[in-house]
Structure 1
Amino acid sequence: MAATESFYQRILPSPPAIDFSSSEGKQLFQEAIQGGTMEGFFKLISYFQTQSEPAYCGLASLSMVLNALAIDPGRKWKGPWRWFDESMLDCCEPLERIKLEGISFGKLICLAQCAGAKVKAFRTNQSTIDDFRNHVKTCSSSDDCHLISSYHRGMFKQTGTGHFSPIGGYHSEKDMVLILDVARFKYPPHWVPLTLLWEAMNTVVKTSGLSRGFILISKLRKPLSLFYTLRCKNENWVGIAKYLIEDVPRFISSEDMNDVRMVLTTVLSSFPSDFGEFIKLVEDSSQEEKDWFSIKEKILKQVQETGLHKYVKEFFLVREISCCSGEFPTLLLLALPPLAWNGIRNPNVLQEIKALTLTDDLPYLLQEEVLHLRSQLQLLDRCNGNRLEEDFGVPLL
């Protein structure tokens, strides 16, 4: 059996790139510091990591940026520690698939949003080189915004094709950017001309026919959710998301619904049995343990006090389904987009359902949870249908 060919790093083609650790690279670094456009570098370099799989460049770039922004994942990594790692980024796409195929531009955006970051993204056909330069300057001049670039390595005479990596800094006078290449087993961090990076981004991904681009990631002013999140560690989430987004509106519009009980019975009767694996209670929070449990119980009580929960609980009690007390199904139904119920033909029933699911009337804590789950659900639906690849800029309802 023939031995598999192996490599120890690659020689960085220079030009066009300049090795960060070379004399010229160090000089560029010092000058950029003086120019005030290396502020984001220090946070990023503190959490710089090497991608753990050949196709994990997107995941490594994102986990590095999330940690640099001090975003709490709200769940354990190992032992007692909450920390972003590539293995934690299991929303939007199964890790096994990413390991084989990598991750698309749109689904990396989905991951960043599901992780609790504020995200703005642009393909090159949606931006200009001047806009890109301004974004690079802005992010490089502060430590509360970071930029991930999606580019084709061939433009730099490097081996490989599409790649993701964070931008670590900018040299204004030379118009060069520092790429913190997460494939450190292959190439070291290096400076490249911004104009050439733009050309490398202004290429088309063969599988999608769409341009590459860049993602701006920053920290939200407040956490998206304290306790509940949607999970998709296995393929079951596809069927559950499809049921909630596509099947529920169809079921309730397929026949005359005479009252609210009939509507909810129709919906809950076909509810996927494994929905409990789709919505999860976040194990940890930045709150003190005593406070965390206190708030959790308060939110559960708020769910139980909704008019919708009374119908859901009754459904499970009548059918003697003891494994479910109704909180999770209630949350999922509250998280449905308001338009999901519009197919109900009876105007009085529609009005009553709208009243039961109206988020504006929910207590603040529960409202925050529901709106987060709704945002996640819509993101997952768009990811599943690959619509996020084209309309990731479309706001969620």
Structure 2
Amino acid sequence: MKPVGRFGVAVGFVLLSGSGYFAVSRPGVPPEAIQSSVIHRPELIERAWRLPVATTFKTEITWQSNSSRCGPASVANTLRSLGEQKTTETQVLEGTGKCWTGICFMGLTLDELADVARAKTRRRITVLRNLTGEEFREHMKRSNDPGRRYIINFARETIFGAGVGHFSPIGGYLEAEDLVFVLDVNERYKPWLIQRQLLFSAMDTLDGDKKRGLLIIEDN
């Protein structure tokens, strides 16, 4: 990742004196921005958890272990929802050569995350970029199909006014309300609902010289 993605992570690495490892610090999003930008209304969240794909996550999200590992955490949660065995960040990353220090230095791009997923499942992995708003809407409708899973790569700044690139699984789509259910793997945010067009705008941003987009995991 670059500009908003990789650069934002890179400038956040702080060498802890005498500790022997790096900690990751990303630009903070105020709690009030989280509350005002997305929807956490209990009755809507409860309905969203009853969507066909969301139910496979069993209302349980394993949070990312640090702010650089949202991609591996998203894959781990998604594979678990599909009943596969490699369901932890460590298991997902094992043997891939990625994030071997415990931190994904510079973050992972959408293509890199797709390679990680391909190494851990025999299901078909597809990367989608440069979607139109209408194409994105059609995919959100299909996010309720239990035979497929979507992971979205989006820029937090577009939604919250601060933050950098992020990955999370999509739990489904409340079509009547035009709301997408994002299963945020960051414990601070927790799962939330958002107007489809705003989420599309956050996805339709550059990560280096490529657009962000969607990762699909589905049966062959």
Q: Confirm or deny that 1:193 pairs with 2:195.
A: yes
2:127 maps to a residue whose letter is: A
Separation (CA, whole Å) in 1 of partners of 2:63 and 2:48: 27
**5+ residue gaps in structure 2?**
1-24
Q: Which has the higher contact order (CA 8 A, sep 6+)?
A: 2
Task: Label 1:30 to 1:152 Cα distance change in 2 as closer, same or farther (>3 A).
Answer: same
Q: 1:47: how far off?
A: 4.8
**How far apart, CA to CA, are the structure 2 residues paired with 1:193 and 1:156?**
10
Cα distance in 2 for residues equivalent to 1:31 and 1:201:
21
Q: Structure 1 regions of 5+ residues with no counterpart?
A: 73-82, 221-397
Corresponding residue for residue 140 of structure 2: 136
Alignment equivalent of 1:15, drawn from 13, 36, 43:
36
Q: Distance in 2 between matches of 1:49 and 1:98?
A: 17
- Counterpart of 1:188, as a letter, is K
Following superposition, the deviation at residue 43 of structure 1 comes to: 0.9
What do residues 294-320 of structure 1 show as CA deviations (whole Å, max 9, x unaligned)?
xxxxxxxxxxxxxxxxxxxxxxxxxxx
Name the % identity: 26
Q: Is the 8 A contact 1:69 1:218 kept in 2?
A: no
What is the letter of the counterpart of residue 134 of structure 2?
Answer: D
The match for 2:153 among 150, 153, 157 is 150
Question: Cα–Cα, structure 1 residues 214 and 92, in superposed 2: closer, same or farther, change >3 Å?
Answer: farther
In 2, Cα distance between equivalents of 1:150 and 1:179: 11
**Aligned match for 1:59, one of 69, 72, 87:** 72
Residues 97 and 105 (structure 1), Cα distance of their counterparts in 2 relative to 1, 3 Å cut: farther
Q: Runs in 1 of length 4+ with deviation above 4 angstroms?
A: none
Q: Who is 1:112 aligned against?
A: 117
Residues 120 and 217, structure 1, Cα contact 8 Å, conserved in 2: yes
Query: Could you tell me how far apart the structure 2 residues matched to 1:28 and 1:66 are?
Result: 22
Contact 1:153 1:161 in 2 (8 A): yes
2 CA distance for matches of 1:170 and 1:109?
23
TM-score normalized with structure 2 length? 0.77
Task: Provide Cα deviations, 1:271-313, integer angstroms capped at 9, x if missing partner.
Answer: xxxxxxxxxxxxxxxxxxxxxxxxxxxxxxxxxxxxxxxxxxx
Q: 1:31 to 1:107 in 2, by over 3 A?
A: closer
TM-score of the aligned structures, taking structure 1 as reference length: 0.44
Q: Name the SS for the 1:156 alignment partner.
A: helix
User: Partner letter of residue 193 of structure 2?
Assistant: W
Shift of 1:50: 0.3
User: CA contact under 8 A between 1:28 and 1:171: conserved in structure 2?
Assistant: no
Counterpart check, 1:49 vs 2:62 = yes
In 2, Cα distance between the equivalents of 1:191 and 1:42?
15
The aligned counterpart of 2:211 is 211
How far residue 155 of structure 1 moved from its aligned partner, in angstroms, is: 1.3
Check 1:31–1:14 CA distance in 2 against 1; reply closer, same or farther (3 A cut): same
Is 1:159 matched up with 2:180?
A: no
Quote how far apart the aligned CAs of 1:210 are: 1.1
Establish whether residue 175 from structure 1 lines up as the match of residue 181 from structure 2. Answer: no
How large is the RMSD of aligned CA atoms in angstroms?
2.5
Residue 196 (structure 1) shift: 0.6
> Does structure 2 retain, via aligned residues, the 8 Å contact 1:154–1:161?
yes
Q: Distance in 2 between the 1:45 and 1:150 partners?
A: 22
What aligned pairs does 1:215-234 form with structure 2 within 5 A after superposition? 215-220=215-220
Question: 1:87·1:95 contact (CA, 8 Å) conserved in 2?
Answer: no
Name the counterpart of 1:341: none
Count of aligned pairs: 191
In the TM superposition, residue 114 of structure 1 has moved relative to its aligned partner by 1.1
1:27 is aligned to 44
* Higher helix proportion (structure 1 or 2): 1
Cα distance between partner residues in 1 of 2:202 and 2:126 = 20
Q: 1:158 to 1:63 in 2, by over 3 A?
A: farther
CA distance in 2 between partners of 1:173 and 1:194 (Å): 11
Match of 1:163, SS state, is strand
